[in-house]
Amino acid sequence: MPAKVIVFANSRNSAHQIAAELSRALRQSRWPVHLHIGILGSAERERVETAMKREQFGVCVATSTLEIGIDIGDVDAIALSEPPSRIGAFLQRIGRGNRRTDRCRVVALYDTDDDRALLEALLRCAQNGRLDDLHEYDRPSVRFQQVLSLAWRGVRTDKSLTLRNLTDRAATPTMPKLLPI
């Protein structure tokens, strides 16, 4: 039986509900249940991350907040409470499991035949190397960070960032050129 598990949910409400049900079901066991969602304060998220990293046993119910980048130590199994909507999210979620070996334990749950078909399609696409073509949304915070990075590079290289050259430096095929003010 796995010692550490991440249960991925697609929404905060689902994550809350699953964590509450698991907490009741596992109350008398050695598996503490943790919740990791974006709306939590940073201190609480860090507490959960530390607990999952240091404790021998644990279940962490999470949204996409744990898909990438956060070190919570070795995870023995991944449970998908619902199918994610993108291949990238599917790969990120299952990729969190069992990094110590080449085998990843994944349990994927579904309610409907459509959910099952989606999970099977995600798996086929992942096995065949087919990835999402487009990002589903624009992230203004990422754009802002990129502008700051360009400005900092300009300071370090004596090539100041101006409104006039920002368009040329930051525009990509998926990002329209900025209009002059």
144 pLDDT more than 90 = no
Structure token pair of residue 110: 């579904």
Counting the structural domains of the chain, the total is 2
Contact 33, 23 (CB under 8 A): yes
81 pLDDT more than 90 = yes
Q: Which domain holds residue 25?
A: 4-127
Flag whether 179 is in a domain: no
Can you spell out the DSSP letters for the chain?
A: --SEEEEE-SSHHHHHHHHHHHHHHTTTSS--EEEE-TTS-HHHHHHHHHHHHHSSSEEEEESGGGSSS-------EEEESS--SSHHHHHHHHTTS-TTSS--EEEE--SSHHHHHHHHHHHHHHHTT---SS-SS--HHHHHHHHHHHHHHHHHHT----HHHHHHHH-BTTBPPPPP-
Share of the chain above pLDDT 70, in %: 82
98 pLDDT more than 60 = yes
How many Cβ atoms are within 10 Å of 42's Cβ, its own excluded? 7
On whether both 97 and 150 belong to a single domain, the answer is: no
pTM: 0.70
On whether both 123 and 157 belong to a single domain, the answer is: no
Q: CA torsion 165→169→175→181, rounded to 10°?
A: -10
Q: What is the pLDDT of residue 179?
A: 46
130 pLDDT more than 90 = no
For position 117, which CATH number holds?
A: 3.40.50.300
On whether both 113 and 51 belong to a single domain, the answer is: yes
Instruction: Give mean pLDDT, residues 102-130.
Output: 88
On whether both 52 and 106 belong to a single domain, the answer is: yes
